[in-house]
Structure 1
């Protein structure tokens, strides 16, 4: 029996994309909770959105519903939610030094992922997580093992989210929260180090492509 051809509307209704829409809704609820001072709403909504980040990829592979739209939806959701949280933290902690750090982390997060996606697609990869034998060993370890990928992404977001929650917890609760926050800090540090490597390696890939194309053009002119 011949299967019906898929349309773009069908792609919108893929299960992993439906999960992606729920992540967007949860992120919006988290932002509302942050700025209207409902910390429990913000914390739970943000945490659920991050947990669902693993579910959309799982169901995309399980159901054969991987899509470029879903990949971009996932990445845009991640970048936007992290940006909003770090922007809030820059205001909440009222420190110029911390605000500068948070702004630099936002810039690193967005630029490294954009350059990685662009360089992978322009060099013929199917998605930004596809690594070949020439890829940096750190990036291969990070992107080829989904457990490692999830652990670092979740740990990084958990560190920032705990920084947010600590602003509202009573003193007795901080005795538990602060050690967990400190435990998550090295994970966040490594994750942002990976972002830096990703940015540099992607820049090198694009520059190599530029050099190859310019050399080819120069050779054609001489011929």
Structure 2
């Protein structure tokens, strides 16, 4: 039987989708700064839709990989951070800039610490939940009826804030109400990020305490 090489992992279908999402993220960045809002909208939306496709094909084809999971997570964080940073320039609001700094920091730190904590306890990915997991995280990561709307609503809020600056007046009668509808979903998603950060910190601290106690015996 032919042994798989590490380079073969790079050619997994879900990882190819991930590379395409990275390229879409680059297009999003350039189209924002050169003010092509509709290109930005389409590419950002396409990247979000493909975010679900890579996971689907990873499971369907038996091509789940740690590299693919990290690629997916990093792409999500970088794409959202790019949009949030540009929003601060677009609205020229110190309050929004402060909020963006907080949201970017919370998003990156909570996911990094969650992944690291899960790997340290022997789990294969940051979405793997057990019986002792905080109820909010368990509900979020195991129920797609919760997971998909919250993730979509969070990204939709940022994207709608962006488009509200460019849409013609008649379209704002639709986009602005949608922005307010997406706002609570964004707030809930970031509250879950805060819970994730706290729970992961506790898990790592528990591992540290156990290590120190063992060393003193």
- TM range, normalised to the smaller chain? over 0.9
CA distance in 1, matches of 2:155, 2:36: 19
Q: TM-score, normalization: structure 1?
A: 0.95
Q: Tell me how far 1:151 sits from its aligned partner.
A: 2.0
CA distance in 2, matches of 1:9, 1:148: 36
Q: Tell me how far 1:91 sits from its aligned partner.
A: 1.4
2:120 counterpart residue number: 122
1:28 counterpart residue number: 26
Q: Tell me how far 1:35 sits from its aligned partner.
A: 0.5
CA distance in 2, matches of 1:92, 1:159: 15
Q: Tell me how far 1:148 sits from its aligned partner.
A: 2.6
Structure 1 counterpart of 2:172, from 171, 174, 189: 174
CA distance in 1, matches of 2:104, 2:65: 26
Q: Tell me how far 1:145 sits from its aligned partner.
A: 2.3
1:73 counterpart residue number: 71
Structure 1 counterpart of 2:47, from 24, 28, 49: 49
1:16 counterpart residue number: 14
1:113 counterpart residue number: 111
Could you say which structure has the larger radius of gyration?
A: 1
C-alpha contact (below 8 Å) 1:54/1:150 kept by paired residues: no
Q: Is 1:38 equivalent to 2:36 in the alignment?
A: yes
What value does the CA root-mean-square deviation take over the aligned residues?
Answer: 0.9
CA distance in 1, matches of 2:120, 2:57: 27
Structure 2 counterpart of 1:199, from 193, 197, 200: 197
C-alpha contact (below 8 Å) 1:23/1:77 kept by paired residues: yes
CA distance in 2, matches of 1:17, 1:116: 22
1:87 counterpart residue number: 85
- What is the total number of aligned residue pairs between the two structures? 217
After TM superposition, what 4+ stretches of structure 1 lie above 4 angstroms from structure 2?
Answer: none
Q: Tell me how far 1:8 sits from its aligned partner.
A: 1.5
Q: Tell me how far 1:147 sits from its aligned partner.
A: 4.1
1:217 counterpart residue number: 215
Deviations 1:1-51 (A, max 9, x none): x4x221112111111011111111111111111010000000100000000
2:144 counterpart residue number: 146
